[in-house]
């Protein structure tokens, strides 16, 4: 009994120690508007009164969402500033919620973006491409979280492809992501064409990196695409064949001229599993190999993650999101960011993350 009681006390202390301490004066929830493009199927009203999107394939469509973020669950990055956002006063709670989805036709969506940038000096869009096992609703809250934690100055947006949102549907998700790559390419071209948008940054997570690289390879061959407006390209825990990246994708990315930041980790369970399934190691698995190449700044998650959250660090870890702030908002290279430290090897330089002190 004493031993069981001691274990219970240790577990309780660990949980309390890991809990996020909420700012005393913060509202329970803040409201974050997020734009989207998707080729998921739109569910009929009789199936879903909210008109949300399913896991089937559909035509490309656009729209906006409204996400309520809990300031009790979010805010670990030193750059998270809840005062920048509108507080939710009605029915707020200690949870993240997708409150509204507003589908728009392409013309109306473009006009909405144009209006959003009126008088805004930072006319940038951050496009997030999600990975394996994600629903539309989850992705919307993840993008809102990134926008909040990084103190993003531009417009947050995501491209949602028809993931089955099931741990047993990996093969299906691989096929769906590759099927969706052409629509992702067209979405990028759409954003790059808008005169109101000065810069398009892209973060692709996990399996979404494969689709993004396919889209970028196509854009590198398109002389009409405004690729000069591409900003930062971020591959977060990419579930991509490392050999294919080096042989096929890297030359295309180098041709585009955009800076690529690769976030990898040496303790990524999903990528180790993917490597066994695909029989070739994944680009984001730093334990198999740390990729070093021209035009790519490789950041290895070090002391700021555990094996439980290393794969999803870009949406879960404040120290990683602080590094994203320096990259996306201040446009600093790895050597200029206090969040990472350089490591010299015979193959070249890479960087490792380091923990920051919270500054709430």
pLDDT of 38 reads 98
Tens digit of each residue's pLDDT (9 = 90 or more) over 201-259: 999 999 999 999 999 999 999 999 999 999 999 999 999 999 999 999 999 999 999 99
**Quick one: tokens of 154?**
């531009």
d(CA 52, CA 352): 39
**Quick one: tokens of 122?**
């930072």
Nearest to 335 by CA among 320, 357, 319, 352: 352
> Contact 208/130 with Cβ under 8 angstroms?
yes
Query: Residues, the chain, total?
Result: 360
pLDDT of 348 reads 96
pLDDT of 227 reads 96
**Residue ranges of the chain with pLDDT lower than 50?**
1-21, 50, 359-360
This prediction's pTM: 0.91
Backbone angles phi, psi at 37, to 5 degrees: -130, 140
Homologous superfamily of domain range 25-353? Alpha/Beta hydrolase fold, catalytic domain (3.40.50.1820)
d(CA 333, CA 103): 37
pLDDT of 112 reads 94
């Amino acid at each position: 009994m004493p031993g069981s009681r001691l274990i219970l006390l240790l577990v309780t202390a660990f949980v309390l120690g890991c809990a996020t301490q909420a700012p005393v004066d913060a509202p329970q929830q803040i409201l974050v508007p997020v734009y989207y493009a998707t080729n998921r199927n739109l569910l009929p009203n009789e199936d879903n009164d909210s008109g949300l999107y399913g896991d089937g394939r559909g035509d490309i469509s656009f729209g906006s969402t409204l996400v309520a973020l809990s300031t009790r669950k979010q805010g670990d990055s030193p750059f998270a500033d809840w005062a920048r956002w509108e507080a939710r006063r009605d029915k707020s709670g200690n949870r993240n919620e997708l409150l509204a989805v507003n589908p728009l036709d392409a013309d109306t969506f473009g006009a909405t973006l144009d209006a959003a940038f009126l008088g805004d000096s930072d006319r940038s869009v951050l496009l997030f491409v999600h990975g394996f096992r994600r629903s539309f609703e989850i992705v919307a809250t993840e993008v809102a979280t990134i926008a909040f934690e990084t103190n993003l100055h531009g417009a947050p947006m995501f491209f949602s492809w028809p993931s089955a949102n099931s741990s047993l549907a990996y093969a299906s998700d691989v096929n769906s992501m590759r099927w969706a790559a052409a629509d992702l390419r067209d979405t990028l071209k759409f954003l790059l064409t808008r005169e109101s948008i000065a810069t398009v940054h892209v973060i692709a997570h996990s399996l979404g990196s494969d689709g993004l690289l396919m889209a970028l390879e196509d854009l590198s061959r398109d002389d009409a695409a405004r690729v000069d407006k591409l900003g930062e390209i971020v591959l977060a825990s990419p579930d991509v064949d490392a050999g294919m990246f080096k042989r096929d994708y890297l030359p295309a990315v180098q041709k585009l001229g955009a800076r690529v930041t690769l976030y990898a980790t040496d303790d990524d369970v999903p990528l180790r599993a993917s490597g066994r399934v695909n029989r070739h190691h994944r680009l984001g698995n730093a334990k198999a190999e740390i990729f070093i190449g021209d035009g790519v700044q490789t950041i290895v998650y070090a002391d700021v993650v555990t094996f439980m959250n290393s794969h999803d660090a870009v949406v879960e870890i404040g120290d990683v999101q602080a590094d994203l702030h320096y990259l996306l908002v201040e446009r600093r290279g790895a050597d200029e960011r206090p969040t990472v430290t350089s490591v010299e090897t015979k193959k070249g330089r890479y960087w490792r993350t380091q923990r920051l002190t919270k500054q709430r």
